[in-house]
Amino acid sequence: MSSRNLTLDLHPIFNQGGKIDAALQEAMDEAESRKAKQLEIICGKGSGALKNRVLRFLDRKDVKARYHRIDKDPSNSGHLYVYFRWKRGQ
């Protein structure tokens, strides 16, 4: 994977609420500092509760302003992709 693509696997902390938000925040910060093109979030299939929590986090107004768009992987429902768009000189 390119250095401009990041991955966050939430499996190890799936049941630790506060750590999930902190990990998501840290991943967004790292994506901005590296000027990443894409952040892949692995939330697993399961019941969908973790994926819904991640989507609620990404839908917050302050977070939404930080990325360009989100895609759900059509072949794997346990993956989300967050895409960033950077302007020259940013």
| In-domain check, residue 50 | yes
Rounded CA-CA distance 40/67 in Å is 13
Band (pLDDT 50/70/90 cuts) for residue 90 is low
pTM here is 0.88
Measured CA to CA, the distance from residue 12 to residue 59 in angstroms comes to 23
Parent domain of 21 = 5-83
Q: Give Dmax (Cα) for the chain.
A: 42
pLDDT tens string 1-58? 456 899 999 988 888 888 999 999 999 999 999 999 999 999 988 888 999 999 999 9
Q: How high is the pLDDT of residue 29?
A: 96
Does residue 90 lie in a domain region?
no
The tally of domains found in the chain comes to 1
Q: What is the pLDDT of residue 26?
A: 97
- The CATH number assigned to the domain holding 14 equals 3.30.1370.110
89 within domain boundaries: no
In a domain, 37, yes or no: yes
* SS3 label, residue 82: strand
CB-based contacts of 19: which residues, under 8 Å, 6+ apart?
13
Is 88 part of any domain? no
